[in-house]
Amino acid sequence: MAEAQLKIAVVGHTNTGKTSLLRTLTRDPAFGQVADAPGTTRHVEGVRLAAGEDATVEWYDTPGMEDSIALLEYLERLDEPGQRRDGPARVHRFLDSPEAKGRFEQEARVLAKLLDCDAALYVIDARDPVLGKHRDELALLAACGRPLLPVLNFVQAPAHRAQGWRDAMSRLGLHAVLEFDTVAPPLDGEARLYGRLAMLLHQHADLLERIAKTLSQQRQQRRMDACRVSADLLIDAAALRLTVAGEPDAVAAATDTLREQVRLREQAASQALLALYNFRPGDYAADTLPLSGERWRMDLFHPQALKDMGVRLGVGAAAGAMAGAAVDLAVGGLSLGAGMLLGAAAGGVWQGVGQLGQRMAGRLRGHRELSVDDAVLRLLALRQRQLIQALERRGHAAREPVRLDQPADEAWRRAALPDAIAEARSRPAWSALNEHHEDDERRKLKLAELARHMARDMEQAAPTE
């Protein structure tokens, strides 16, 4: 394997979130070991980030510095009278001393790795007060003669001291400070980080700009892929229908079947989104979108779920269809429609004499069709959109599961459903949950159209950073 073009060490005091930062930057929740106890990382660990064949960075996670005050005093004692060594020479002398393999072994690992790298990120827990030990750490790190970029972590915490740290860094001559919360990083956090590094590493500026551009393109592609996953779910749900005899017991059983199909389909879509963003199933909150167990089974069609998202239960998928042709009864979020109903319904899309004739014959035999109500489709769309937005803003070091809030805007709650969903109602073959599923060119076209609609919707609804 070719040598990386840039090597960067991640350094700092014990338990400031160095490993967490690398988990987020590499989107690898399994990298290293994260715990609340100090000193979790005891050895240097490396990971390579490739953004194209000609843009590679090697990141190194280092142990926490624990005794910088004593080490700085020891370095001063190592100086012989009349000698004036520069910073790197002093550090090398220390690394050759017995104490580098004994009392100061942790610090020696950090300094040795920094000498081997082009730059370092100095990770700070912004909740901590600025103490003398931090200034001594920075003095030791600065002695290595490598550019340092202070990174303020945990700036989303209510009691952070970010401004105090900025002031302290300025007094030490470190003016390029970055706020990057490893639990909830900003959408443009990576671009900011690589931009700051480009300021410090002029000889690598082109490389860092290419990496930032590539990562931005990857983020946009992930969002579009996520929207396609959600659009596929919505088309499957909108086109789903079950034909059932009109007896109450048969209708009740079919209703349960349809609900279960939709629940499992949403579960599959949610799991696909988690995998797309490289998160685990346990990263979802059990009280909103659980992926297994009875609570999940109760969630989607419970009236409270609609209320929580601000969705009103409609009068059924065939509302507004031909006068007198269909009567829909809203039943727990589902529609019971008469035979000729649902295809020509929501979007007024005519579906052909043959298929309509079969439905009319079914109606004359006393059959009914069940489909998913518009209100439930809105709920599915809202939850998928909220999930995508939450995953985009979630760091891979986060431990608390994702919890979704009610969206503040009106999109998907009261506006007309997109044309692709309306047309899907007229095409049962478009649902992979129905028999005789057909993923034809028209479905592909409408799926792409709906995915673009969802992406634009999220772009417009995105809060200002």
> If we measure between CA atoms, which residue out of 259, 336, 354 comes closest to residue 300?
259
Residue 147 · residue 173 · CB < 8 Å: no
Three-state secondary structure call for residue 288: coil
* Predicted confidence (pLDDT) at residue 361 exceeds the cutoff of 60: no
User: Do residues 413 and 378 touch, judged by C-beta distance below 8 A?
Assistant: yes
Distance, in Å, from the CA atom of 416 to the CA atom of 353, rounded to the nearest integer, reads 27
Q: CA–CA separation, 235 vs 327, rounded Å?
A: 23
Q: Is 145 helix (H, G, I), strand (E, B) or coil?
A: coil
Residue 436: left if φ>0, alpha if ψ -120 to 50, beta else—which one?
left
Q: Is the pLDDT of residue 19 over 80?
A: yes
Bigger pLDDT: 324 vs 177 = 177
Looking at residue 431, what is its pLDDT?
A: 96
The one-letter amino acid at 270: S
Answer whether 452's CB lies under 8 Å from 264's CB. no
Q: Are strands 6-12 and 119-125 parallel, antiparallel or unpaired?
A: parallel
For Cα atoms 199, 179, 13, give the angle at the middle one, nearest 5 degrees.
95
Q: What is the pLDDT of residues 240-278, one digit of tens each?
A: 988 887 788 888 888 889 888 998 899 899 999 999 999
pLDDT band, very low/low/confident/very high, at 452 (cuts 50, 70, 90): very high
Per residue, the 3-state secondary structure of 168-223, as one string, reads HHHHCCCCCCEECCCCCCCCCHHHHHHHHHHHHCHHHHHHHHHHHHHHHHHHHHHH
Confidence of residue 316 (pLDDT cuts 50, 70, 90): very low
DSSP letter string over 111-132? HHHHHHSSEEEEEEETTSPP-H
Instruction: Tell which residue, 368, 386, 377, has the closest CA to residue 236.
Output: 377
Q: Enumerate the β-bridge partners of residue 241.
A: 371
pLDDT in tens, 166-199: 999 999 889 889 999 888 888 888 889 999 999 9
Cα 415 to chain centroid distance, Å, stands at 27
Distance of alpha carbon 391 from alpha carbon 389, whole angstroms: 6
Picking from 48, 43, 62, the residue whose alpha carbon sits closest to that of residue 6 is 48
Strand duo 334-337 + 367-372: pairing: antiparallel
CATH class name, domain 4-30+43-183: alpha beta
pTM for the model stands at 0.79
Domains of the chain, by residue range, sit at 4-30+43-183, 217-314+365-461
As a residue count, the chain comes to: 465
Mutual angle of helices 374-392 and 205-239, in 10-degree steps: 160
Amino acid (one-letter) located at 389? Q
> In this predicted model, what pLDDT tens digit does every residue of 24-82 receive, in sequence order?
888 888 775 544 444 444 567 888 877 666 678 899 999 888 888 899 889 888 877 66
Retrieve residue 124's tokens: 């700070």
Burial 17-48 (b: 16+ CB within 10 A, else e): bbbbbbbbbbbebebbebeeeeebbeebbebe
Token reading at 201: 């590493």
- The pLDDT value given to residue 219: 92
